[in-house]
Structure 1
């Protein structure tokens, strides 16, 4: 918090320095003095306005805005210093305080440019009136054509005088102002990279044309058959802020006049005169480079390409474009040379480009810059350009439509014609845009041609802030991600042999077919002659150092039953590992005896210390594709079991027992037949515990209904609860089991305390039963760990026995398993910390199937919050109500009760509306006693107001991790009627901020109140009058296009009923009044989102190309284009609007169906990603084929019963 306005005096210097230091200023004293200089100029200006009605002691609006801008800026000191300089430079030229008072955006522009570009900042400081144009002119981001640039430049030159030096100087000033405008639009995300570079290129076209016109005038020639051809980035209409322009001059017939005009043109561009040069001009791409003539004829250039040009010179001509001069000559030249570019073979082209790239990288490696060069290094801009150009040279002759001078446009064409895959296109485009943006940011620092990432950490931090990353580490991670993705594609594409491209779906299919399970190949058993001989060989093998030995033979007369002997080195959890692996391999234990340590089993077999011995009769539970007598079946099966038991045993002894449990549980759940857990039938068991006298062992007699993996579930539950099984006698007859286990504590002590005996009972019953339901969950390992934690938390509760009775019900266990196995967020945010209050919701799954109506919720809320007028208690009651019902709705969704699609969003949005309305009431009761009722300007009438929702809240589309975007609009200026009277703006700002702070978010993003969509964003007040609202969002108002677009989701949710209509009319007039949609600004916003938030080489379901945002923006474009004509399009919900657009024939019904299907699928996918962590931070899709990918697919099917395979995402 900074000092109040009236305390910015010399006497308060020390106190103010402390406040600035606490606010994060690195040089607080200098910052205080800068602020004092600004306020001094303000007071001087105020005193000169005798007609002003403002109290000079009252804090001016600009000071409040400046505080917000500085406190939110990453470079606070620099921003305040720039504002100080600007005010001092501007105050004698115009009323600068009137500007920043009425338009807080002006301060935002200064701050943004200060953090983005010292070069642009200096340009603005040297020409202060430019800020007025940038801040107030609603058409700042409009695209200008080459002709418009040229005409405006000519007008500026003509006004400066008729002498060449003055005209060239004015041309440079005009160019600086335009670069400033483009740079500002770039910094605020109003233009995407494609349009930034296009505007810079068209501006350069106009500058070349103006210099050529001046040269013709100087040479006293009206017309000349001379064409200026641009190559490189200028030719591709993708110019940087500080690029050279590569020019080639072509004529029909050479002459002295042509040479003179050419030289004057180049001098006009490159000559350094106040305020500098226009462009550095590179002429080395002409035939014979610097040794060749300045101007070449068409025939001479063609002869050079035929006889002497290297591949790289032909490659450079792919970007040739006529930018000035005689267009007839230029087009004739391009037509003549085009066929001459495709004379090399594909192998030669690839080899030449590879060698050229290797030479570039060799030089960079020698200078230690290979991995920091954005333009030329590994995975750099040049990789993308060379890849594109190689494919154009190889395929351009047969398919001329792939030829385009612009890299981004070329990528689109290459993808359209199948020369690169959709996956390659996405990664190359994202990488190219990212790297080019980094390059722009580097060059904007001081308008210098640099392409290397800074070594200095402070400079890297600055670069990160310029690109809207939180820190340099995040920037460098993105840099490495994109470089890796680009280079991988470059290497694959530039290899000599042809590359077969696979879609993601095809790749997944191949991955799925590659591994063959043990049961895919049916093999037979090698019988040993005598059981004792088998055991002797087995023990000898273990003694020799083998971890485990497995012997398997078919039982005579019972072809589907097998005799299995397993012996190995003892380890913790040995029984659960063996039983788990047998279940995974679909071997069901029918009877047997297993023990560890010295002893004799029921077959008379001896086991020695430090070993375990398991002798089982097992049955193969899946149908075999070949006769089981196949020779190698048993050998392979036994070998696989032996290797796995040995590996897992080593891991267990090596302190990796949790990893072993997680692997076994996940594989068990993947292998278990789904039909065995699909119905909520009872899986209960009876357990009798007998303490054996004179022994550390407790005998467990277990009977119950048999089920798939029964013994694994039991052994796993005991191991998880830190019990050690020393012997297990197994017997299964029909559908019943009768097992006897002998157990003790893991540390070797007997189980003595009643608490541990109770845990043993629970492990054998409740945890074992819970394990039975794990195959229905998404994350079995964490579900089981959370369940055990939950049970331990419930044990001390008074209602312990009632809780356990409820938990033993199969449908309750099933519900608990689904919840704990699907969402880490629901566990951490609710059950783990508030199990006593929220667990009862889970014990009544039937009640969760019913949606609570709005009236019931309102009645409960009234009872909860109206019991007290104490604000603290009221906020606590509101938040407790919110969390309980938020948890309940989430439970309903996870259990599949929120159907059809959209019902979950409706329930969450309804809850959010109730919470917001009640929060406003509580905040109102807090503020009115202090400030009084807000009144209109007449001092009598109560001032009406409304609160509107935006975003997903406004669109009735909330989901997991949705925030609540709000905007408060009040009727008019005025003051409150209390003794401590304040303006309505201040009162309503306090009101809406009290709501934002009063509604507690249980986790980042979840029901968090977001006020950033208000006019002027963070620099503006939290509440706005209707007049200011209309003025801000008017067609010629200062609102950015994306802010106006956001109003499509505007929906009044609280406040004066009559005033809602007036606000809605004003909102619709701002959105739909023009009947236009700013596609340029939309593309810029999308590019910025992708650059900042999408990992290189990855898919973000929300933000990547083709993600959910593209669906939403397409619908919003329809609304803003046709909403003035068709009133029924004016609805904040995307799907409803899409249906209405189809009904109105604005889109084809088939398109509507495909868009809706894609939109619903993406929304469901986002839902399944967010429900795990409960936040909106990262919606990156897992790598196909990984465990996370498979878990996501399971969630998608389980929660939404989706009929769209995850592999179809690319489609």
Structure 2
């Protein structure tokens, strides 16, 4: 006896998951009465169901219309039926129409069905249609109904299996098995529909009948494409196919008749799946991936297919063929088609702009989504299934040219193969695989509800709650929304990382022989792309790629592309050697190969650095983890002075001695110089940025190291002792390049107080100061990176004491100073040590370098000194026109001219009181001291000479002041400057042009010669 609905509490109904409590309680009571079961037992069947409210009505209708069948269901079967209908009210309505196998399906608890069994079941179903007499053809309508009915019964069994797994939290675990089974069901349904189609054409139900002999000679191969081809089909999805037709007997049917019969047979097969009938269509059988799409013929012969794909097919068509497999009909004919197109598929990536075309196609897919659907598209939107599928397919097509292990159709199989082959990071591949399963489970559950194609995520709370319960992926609708948003973000991030990796385009464009290391063709290729010692290069390659580990596989995948990038540099042989050393140094760094493979710019930039700059490559070997900086521009940006000083002072304070501090400080200094060198060679930094960065690095090193040296000897320091370092030359002017010296002078004061009870004599203070400076010079020298402090600009030059007191400087300048020393002070700047003393020294320097008057005799003296420098200091034997520093129009010409203007007018014009050459030149233009055009020509020559000197240092590690005559060195300079290869003549001509113009300005403005006079060095 059924329990009265009054005895069923609303709280019990709510706990079961119902939303409409009052109405549901009444219907549950009615259902219990119809089934003659206790109402609580009936209610328990709805616990855990996705949408109990939606399930209740179709179940009640089935019980009313088929009471005997319904009452035969035990409690377990009833609960399974509730679970099935709660997730798919559409299947509930199906069983109202066709309840015959319901009890058997529910008792079985769901199952997966293999291809052979599915074919057998569906073919048996169409052969057992009620109006089919033995030996007579099956009618189309009856065949369609029988096929679709049995298909949905099998689908219900599979769905029940899937839902039960989902209730246990295993929906993503069984996804591949379920998708494989759905693909098999589709193949079996198409085969069955083809059999109905043949019977229909024989009987003449659609058009004129075809003779049995002629129809038997028509071979129709059906090739599965898309998800069905990859055996990862949805619950309801278009099943993409291509029809191939051939004749089994050309004496019976051929030519136009073959195409005509094949077209009718294919069309009728499609009708059996998708045309309206008493039992609704299953899904759409879509042939639009065929050659020429909708505009092309529905069927083609094998010869026609081959001609099309060899001549006319576009990149996307080969991408589509990636998933092609024999599906139904004449499987041998379909297999021949897939086999004949394999080579074209796996060589398609070598087509011009293949990678770009695939990337643009993905963008177009997103652009065509309606605005209101963009963020809820599970399939096509950003972070959706297409992002994962396109990422995997593009990697397959690019690398599959050379690796047969990637010749798989399924997305998950492809991700596994790509991970195993080292083409994507293991974590990335596993994450994408997990995300793909999750998204596909959501898609399956959405489509199962109404048995219709959809990929739109619901936004309403009720719909999300139902989907969460159906999938078992989240406890609530809000949890599912959060999970979906997080998955989208992760998928999109990984897609952008993988899909737009620069390695893809580079690999796609590789000649085949580059992938066969050790072959004669590879040796010839190495030679042809610029390796002077291909045998030596091959030895390095063998060392880099030896072994069977995943690390070795990744290196093998990378090397062909890296070799191409190395060849773009001036010295690929040295670059490859340096790459081997850097790689060995980073052997234990898990991020290293991942960065080269997945990084946006790192790999290409590293190859450029190593093959274009020995200076940088040598430094990089001592700091191999600096490779990581190449991924992002901001990591190559020069660091500001303040944080560098803070870092170095902190390091020094934690070391017991100055010698120990010096080791750490030199490492930081070397690190910063390397950062600047990498930034310049890669084109991230300008020469002006490099100058600022070098100034900060040198200044911070001197500051911290001087503090450490003084701390070590603090016990013997004279009372009140102060020491300051004054930058001179290009260091003082903040205009350093990689080839610049670090010019300094040292000044001290103090020592009048007592030390250990005795007054320090001036001599003792002097000795102490020179000891400090000597230790500084010794400790700053870096065995791995030469850093020399040049004190030659001090009073009396090399013959004078290396450090003087402030009063000694004052006395010397008052009595003995000559004009060149005042000129040298124009770029003096306090850089380290005691700030007050540095400031006082600069006050003294101002008195000399910016005098109120600079008489004509001193002007003539400056000119004579310049002429003497040109006559005596230019190296003999070299072409003076190629001298970047002292030659005509070189750095010296510009600086002497600017400095003369400062000496003459700096006392009257504060804007000229700057240590910057170009800053003073700009001020001189504003003060009308020099013509703007003349200043522009001077600036151009000075900047170009400075840039070339730095580039030469970066290129060969040695530097020099002459523009080389050797072609290889000239090519190296152009490479560092970022010029295209082969512009060495242009480099020479440009220097000769800008220096000639600057020299004319120098002769006219500095020397005061009139046009046409004979000039020095002309």
- Normalized against structure 2, the TM-score is what? 0.46
Higher relative contact order (CA 8 A, sep 6+): 1
Greater per-residue helix proportion: 2
Greater per-residue strand proportion: 1
Query: Which has the greater radius of gyration?
Result: 2
- Normalized against structure 1, the TM-score is what? 0.39
